[in-house]
Chains A and B, each alone.
Chain A
Amino acid sequence: MFEGYTGYIVAGATTTLEIALSSLAVATVLGLMGAACRLAPNLLLSRVAETYSTLVRGVPDLVLMLLVFYGGQIAANALLEALGLPAMDFNQFMAGVLTLGFIYGAYLSETFRGAIMAVPKGQWEAGWAYGMGRSRVFLRIILPQMIRFAIPGYTNNWLVLTKATALVSVIGLQDMMFRAREAGAATREPFTYLLVVGAVYLAITSVSLLLLKWAEKRYSAGVRMGEI
């Protein structure tokens, strides 16, 4: 149907999913670290985390992406040179994933901060009463309970992140958006290919929303809802 471009687009869809999932992993780690720092008693840590989230959320994704993508390599190599190490060649995929992860880590840190604060204070105190340390209480008691509060915001960020992966096509990564443009230009049918890719994005969104419903149910086991 698509003049032999089917495999080409499918490979792009795989790249898109790979970028999205890898960036989500990076963003989740950065988000958790950001949230933990924001809530830490150390003033310096919480200020740094606050600055990170405020600055990143105030600038368009595309500008950050161009900044990190074009500038990141130069900066990293300048740093390596200063340390007396040889220069490195960064692969595009890594650069894209790290940039997206860095941006969405800021958004996720806000989601996680809210979710951690939503867990009743008594849970911390109960953990301490059993003689657990701060990190153990966090990992064993708070983390599993905060998931329920974080799920809606987390899914939202995932949906926005998936759509934001389309931006990596601007900096030359061969995701499905990039390939749709190429195939469209070659066959003079840009609309057709863009439409197909749009349908794939929509499918990813729809499946994610179904998973959200399932996860919400799973992590709300044993929670009593107010009856309306």
Chain B
Amino acid sequence: MLDFAMLIEPDNLKLYADGLLTTLKLLLVSLACGLAVSVPLSVLRVAKSPLLYGPVWLYTYVIRGTPMLLQLYLIYYGLSQFAVVRDSLAWPLLSDASFCAMLALAINTCAYTTEMLAGAIRATSHGEVEAAKSVGMSRATLYRRILLPSALRRSLPAYSNEVVMMLHATSLASTVTLLDITGAADRLYSTYYMPFEPFLAAALVYLLLTWGLVRVFRQLEGRYLAYLAPRSH
């Protein structure tokens, strides 16, 4: 009943290979940007002044409370409504589907990562902070040497979930014309009018990527969270 022969035709294999590259590019660029911005934002998020944490709270609340698809559409389809945007220097970028997808993915992951890191910073044990203060560390040093390194390590398990979620979110890029893995499958579906084979193949690729990511993070956890593991005899 199922006929996978068409999947191994060179043209179609290349479509999937290019799709895989697009997916990985979207994932890595958005994760890198999102993580880089989320570190300073998480420090603001745990600040005492509402002027500092308020805007960051609002940002994470709005992003986490609306669908990623909507954010992507707002950027890709929505922004063209404004003449200011269409006439601006950024327009060549903002009319590019690939850039818009990366931007939407980065904005999205940044919000989730910020909350995750802020939670980890808040969960730092009281004694560590006190010890740092007692040796006369300034606030900046306290964050740089104690709070952030420890919070980043302790966030690893939650971050591995976030990375898998982002891998899955990259599939939305296919809705704005990008040929990622899902886009490649969708094109084959419309060419051959066979729904099972192309999407099953895509599902398999995502499954393997997911398992690969989980393995990598397990290794990282073994390395960076060794100090939290149960004592072995």
Among residues of A, the one whose C-beta sits closest to the C-beta of B167 is A60
From residue 129 to 168 of chain A, which have CB atoms closer than 8 A to chain B? 159, 163-167
Say whether chain A's binding surface is mostly helix, strand, loop, or mixed.
helix
Binary contact readout A53-78 vs B (1 if CB under 8 angstroms, 0 otherwise): 00100111111101100110011001
Segment of B10-18, B75-83, B142-150, B219-227 engaged in the interface with chain A = B75-83
Cβ A63 vs Cβ B67 within 8 A: no
A-chain residues with CB within 8 Å of residue B114 when the two chains form the complex: none
A126 within 8 A of B: no
By a CB distance below 8 angstroms, the chain B residues around A61 are 168, 171
Residues of B within 8 A of A75 (CB): 196
Q: Are B206 and A60 in contact (CB under 8 A)?
A: yes
Which chain A residue lies CB-closest to B199? A67
- Asked if B137 is an interface residue, CB under 8 A from chain A, the answer is no
* A184/B65 contact (C-beta < 8 A), A64-B203, A74-B195, A170-B175 known: no
Interchain CB contact under 8 A, A166 and B67: yes
Tell me whether A19 is interfacial, beta carbon within 8 Å.
no
Task: Name the residue on B nearest A191 (C-beta).
Answer: B78
Contact residues in B for A206 (Cβ distance below 8 Å): 65
Task: Specify which of A58, A62, A181, A195 is in contact with B207 (CB 8 Å cutoff).
Answer: A58
Q: Number of B residues whose C-beta is below 8 Å from A?
A: 40
Per the bound structure, the CA–CA distance linking A80 and B222 in Å amounts to: 51
Q: Which residues of chain B have C-beta atoms less than 8 A from A67's C-beta?
A: 195-196, 199-200, 203
Besides the contacts A62-B182, A63-B206, what 19 more A-B pairs have beta carbons closer than 8 Å? A58-B207, A58-B211, A59-B203, A59-B210, A60-B168, A60-B171, A60-B182, A60-B206, A63-B203, A71-B195, A166-B67, A167-B69, A170-B69, A177-B69, A190-B80, A191-B82, A192-B81, A194-B77, A198-B66
| 29 CB < 8 A contacts A-B | A58-B211, A59-B206, A60-B182, A62-B172, A63-B199, A63-B203, A63-B206, A66-B182, A66-B186, A71-B196, A74-B196, A75-B196, A78-B1, A163-B66, A164-B67, A165-B67, A167-B69, A170-B175, A177-B67, A181-B73, A184-B78, A184-B81, A188-B81, A189-B81, A190-B73, A192-B81, A201-B65, A201-B66, A206-B65
